[in-house]
Chains A and B, each alone.
Chain A
C-alpha cells in the first residue's frame, strides 16, 4: 500500500514541478500577502487634515487650537472664514475635519459657556471614528484644565495583555496562518483531483490496482508539503522580519497544525466531488474560505455577530482554529486552556474526513 501511495505522490510531485510559474506563485503568494498587509495596515491615524474657521482670533482660540495641533492628531491645512467654507473644504476632500470657533469665543469662555462646532467628514469610517474620539477627548481635557475643578478623581488604567502596543500585525498573523493552512491544503487538493477528471486521466488511474484511499493520500500528501513550506515561510517572515512574537510551544503548534491541514485536505476532497472543472473547484473553495473568514472571527469577534450568523459559523472549522492559534501563538497558553476548540475541531475533522472518503469513493464509481 505504501509503495502505491508513494508512486502516486511521486507522479503528483513531478506534475507540480513541471508548472514552474504556478509553483513559484504558490510559494511566494503568502509572503507577498503578509508583506502587503504589513505595508497597508496603519490604523493609528495621526495628522488628520483640518480646516479652521477661527472667527474669534483671540488668545483663547489660539491656545485651544494649539492644544489640538500639539496632540499631533490634526494638521491645519486651511484657514477659512465661514462654516460654508469648512463644508466646501470637506466636500472637496481637502480637509477631513472642520472646526468653527465663533467670534465671542473668548468672552464666552470666561462665562464658562463657549461653544465650538466640529464638522467631520463621514465618508471614511476609520478617519471619522478617530477624528470623532480624539477631538472630543482633547477638547474635554483642555476644558477641564481651564476650570479650577479638582483633578480627575477616578483614574482608569488599562492593561492590554499579549499585545500592549496594539501592533496590528500581531493581531493579523495568527489569522493569516489559519487561513493559509486550511485554504491552501483545501484548494490544492481539490484542484489536483479535479485536474485528473478534466484531463480524463482519472479512468487510467482507476484501472490500476491503486485503491481509493491510496489515491486520495497520494494525491494530497505532496500538497501537505507545499502547505508546510508556506506555513514555515510565513512563520519565519512574521517572527524574524516583522518581529511578531511567538509565545507558545512550537511542538504543540506544529501538532495542532496537522489538524488544520487534515481538515483542509478533507474539505478539498469534498469540493472535488462537487466540481467538474478546476475553475469550479477554485470558485467553490474560494467561496467557502471567504465565508469562513468572515464568520470565524478574523475581523469581528464571533460574539458580536447576529445570532443566525453565529449558528452558521459553528460548522466552519476556522471558527475553532482561530482561538487555537491565537491561544498558542499570541497568548502562549497550553493545551489545557484551549481543549474545547481543539476537541471541537478534532470532531469536525473526523466528520469531514469520513464524509470525504465516502463521497470520494462514490464519485469514482
Chain B
C-alpha cells in the first residue's frame, strides 16, 4: 500500500476544514476535558474528614470525654449531637442526619483502669467513602489512645516516672515509612497521570468515532469514492488532524497539572510526549475500528462510549489491576490505556527512563501498526 503524499495533504486539508467548521462542537470537545480535570482535582478526596457523628456517652466522665476529644481532634469526626441510646443513633443514621455513632458504655471509666474497656462505633454502610475513612480513622485513634493507657499503667506499676508518655515510637520495632514519589500522599499527584490517559482516551476515541461517520452523514462519501484515494491514505488523513488536536490537549492538561495544580513532572517531557503520541494513535485507531460500521453520529457515539467504559474501568486507572480476576484483566490487556497508564505513572510520577517502560511502549507501537491496517482493510470493504 503506497501512500501518495500530495493526495494525503489534500485530504488532510479537507478534514481540517470540516473540523474547524463546527466551532461549537470543537469548543465543547476541548472544553470538556478541562472541566473534567478541574472537577477531579477539586472534588476528589480519597480520605474523608469531618464525618458527622452522634455520641452516646453513658459514662460521662473525664475518661470518656478525653476519648471523644481524641476522635474530634483527629479531624476524622465532627461531634454533631449527643444522644441517649443506641437505637436513637441508628435512627439518626437511618435518617441520614449523621454518618457515624459512638457508644461509650457506663462502665467505661472503671474498665479503662482495669485495662479492659470497650466502645462501639456504628458506621453508615450506605456510603462507601464515609465508611472507609471512618473505619480507619476510628481504629487509629483507638490504637493511639490504647498506647497512652498502656504507658499510664506502666508508669503506675513501676513508679518509673521518667518512662514518660508511651507511644508507637517506644515499641521495640519502629517502622519508618516513606512513600516514594508522593511523600505527603496528595490526591491530585496520584490522580493526574491516570487522568491524562483518561482524558486523552475520551477525546481520541470519541472524535475518531465521529470522524468516521461524518462523510457519510454529510453525503460527501460518494465524492471521495470516485477519487483514486487509497484506504490507508483516507485513514491517515482522518487520523493526523486529530493526532495534532489531541497532542495540543495533552500539552494543555500537563501544563495545567504542573503549573496550576503543582504536580511535579519527574521524567523526560520529550519521551512522555513521544509515548503519548503512540497512545493517542492507538486510541484513535480503536475509536475508528469500533465505529467503522456505524452510519450515524449517534451510533458512533454509543460504541465509543462503551469502548471508553472498558478502558476506564479495566485499565487500572481507577481500580488496581492487581486485585482483578483473570478475565477482566485479559480484557483490560486489549485496551491501549492499560499500557499508557503504566507509562504515564512511570515517567510522570516516578521519573524513570525509557529502559523501564520499553515493553509497554513496544506493545503500543505494535498496537498502532496492527490497528491501522485493520481499519484500512475494513475501510476498503466499505468502499466496494
Contact = CB atoms under 8 A, between A and B. Distances in A.
Indicate whether A and B interact: yes
Contact of B120 (A153, A157, A327): A157
Interface string A320-335: 0001001100110100
A299 B129 contact: yes
Contact of B299 (A21, A122, A126): A21
Interface string B173-204: 11111111111010101110100000000000
Contacts of B24: 280
Nearest to B303: A25
A19 to B, nearest CB: 8
Contact of A151 (B115, B120, B136, B193): B115
Interface residues of A, number: 107
Contacts of B96: 323, 326-327, 337-338
B187 A125 contact: yes
A2 B193 CA distance: 55
A22 B180 contact: no
B153 A153 contact: yes
B50 A304 contact: yes
B123 A158 contact: yes
A154 B297 contact: no
A298 to B, nearest CB: 10
Nearest to A172: B128
Given A127-B320, A301-B48, A309-B42, A150 B150 contact: yes
A53 to B, nearest CB: 14
A135 B146 contact: no
Contacts, number: 307
Nearest to B298: A278
A128 B190 CA distance: 9
B149 interface: yes
Nearest to B52: A303
Contacts of A50: none
Q: Binding site of A, secondary structure by majority: helix, strand, loop or mixed?
A: helix
B172 A303 contact: no
B226 interface: no
B177 A132 contact: yes
Contact of A162 (B51, B126, B327): B126
19 contacts: A36-B309, A39-B325, A40-B314, A87-B180, A114-B174, A122-B183, A136-B177, A137-B139, A152-B146, A154-B142, A154-B146, A159-B120, A287-B32, A290-B35, A301-B99, A326-B126, A330-B126, A337-B95, A337-B96
**Which 7 A-B pairs give the minimum distances between C-beta atoms?**
A122-B182, A163-B125, A125-B190, A156-B142, A143-B171, A171-B128, A39-B328
Interface of A: 21-22, 25, 29, 32-33, 36-37, 39-49, 64, 87, 90-93, 96, 109, 112-129, 132-133, 135-137, 139-140, 142-144, 146-147, 149-164, 166, 168, 170-172, 174, 191, 278-280, 282-283, 287, 290-291, 294-295, 297, 299-301, 303-306, 309, 323, 326-327, 330-331, 333, 337-338
